[in-house]
Structure 1
């Protein structure tokens, strides 16, 4: 593993994404992307989140293909428990009728949970592997090779998920209420008089935009803080193993909770979008 001059340098390295951008007519990476502007790709976030999503879909597809109506295997029983758990929450929280909501809720819960669980991987493992590859395959200084393996510690991931939910909120609002009904909801609530339309519009737009914002920031904040604590523990020395184990055990409870909250808020927001006030 690369040696670092200060603890601050170590922490900054582990909290920096592997970046790719276009600069001077070509493709640039990492430090060369500092002034690249908006269009910078976090390739580690994209790669790990897509890989986790593909593995999740393949695993559930394989279990679905092998499913039997007789005595299920332990793996099938485990998957059925997850599906029933999500389905029960959708039935109890979603008041509309849509065949999309249950599969969407299942996808959100399992995908976010799996992305969160990568936080339990030792913080030095993948940066060390990436540093070795960069050093011996490309002649790079390991300090210039970055890799963050936890997608939900990147605010771009949580915002992308929240924006997808926001688009569905708008879609269902227009589908159920129509353009006229949706516009009336934004302008005639909470005070049902035309004089208060400007006030109502400000309140409702802020409320509408706060939903994806709160979704993304809550998940990002919890996972980023957790990853930062793991990194700080890694700087302690001989005490890092018992402290890492203790924090990981506690975190096993937190990671599913964050995925559950994201799923439940998504269901509630879409249920509200399908209700005619």
Structure 2
């Protein structure tokens, strides 16, 4: 489904679909689209799993319960392979990250022009032309950075929990370059601290940029294909074929990126319990 690209061509079409509904909060732009879609999808995930948790039976499960159990067993198995401590809090965290990111990524598979079509149908073409709505939260860097910052603080929490405040601070100053003697330890402390700070900061940044880059790139490809669909009858059939092929391939990206974000979070937390 695609609307015509209009007089401005493909460039105007893409720019239109990259616009966010924003309000100013503390001097910065607050992306309403990202916040609203993320919140709704998070509530859907909670309601979905809570519903089947309450209706769970020891006998033959329903298809819905079996599907939820399959997901939970898969996530728990991945956590068990990567994290060898008490995973009672880690598995729910991994499940939440995986399902929430899958749902947010999956919004990219919905028809690109559906919001505009709904507004056009109810309020007219002129209103639709000036209506913006981006419904792929993970194609917004604010979302992926927000998730990664939470993971960063969780890594710090588990590091302090495993080693204590003194032990964690000592590790920052004495690893990875270990030294014998007070003078050598003091001399190497700045280098150790700098390397450890870089290591800790790289983790959330790489998590955020990887997820954002893949989803933003996928979103742009859908926009380019939608431009073909709006380019007349000659391009309609190739556009449909390209759109279908990319959508099928993008399902793999949606799932894979959610899995990578989840498993790296677990690996990073597991690493917090290890000594350098």
Provide TM-score, normalisation by structure 1: 0.89
Q: In structure 1, the residue corresponding to 2:59 is in which secondary structure? A: coil
**Structure 1 pair 4/66, CA: closer, same or farther in 2 (3 Å)?**
farther
- Match of 1:264? 263
How far apart are the structure 1 equivalents of 2:171 and 2:19? 43
2:194 matched residue in structure 1 = 202
CA contact (8 A) 2:173 2:193 kept: yes
Structure 2: tracts of 5 or more residues without a match: 180-184, 230-235
CA drift of 1:38 comes to 4.6
| 8 Å Cα contact 1:14/1:147 also seen in 2 | yes
Q: Contact 1:119 / 1:150 at 8 angstroms: preserved in 2?
A: yes
SS at match of 2:65: helix
Deviation at 1:127, TM superposition (A): 3.2
For each residue in 1:164-196, what CA deviation from the matched residue of structure 2 results, as whole angstroms up to 9, or x when unmatched? 111111111111111211112211111112121
The alignment covers a number of residue pairs equal to 260
* Residue of structure 2 in register with 1:8 after alignment: 11
Alignment of 1:125-136 (within 5 A): 125-130=114-119, 135=123
Superposed CA offset, 1:232-270 (max 9, x none): 001113122111000011111111010000000000001
Contact 1:130/1:147, CA 8 A, preserved across alignment: no
Which residue among 224, 229, 254 is the counterpart of 1:232? 224
Question: Which of 130, 146, 152 in structure 2 is aligned with 1:166?
Answer: 152
5+ long unaligned stretches in structure 1? 23-36
Distance 1:142 1:92 in 2: 50
Q: Which has the higher contact order (CA 8 A, sep 6+)?
A: 2
Q: CA deviation at 1:130?
A: 4.1
**Which runs of structure 1 show a deviation greater than 6 angstroms over 4 or more consecutive aligned residues?**
none
- Cα distance between partner residues in 2 of 1:272 and 1:118: 32
How large is the Cα RMSD of the aligned pairs?
1.8
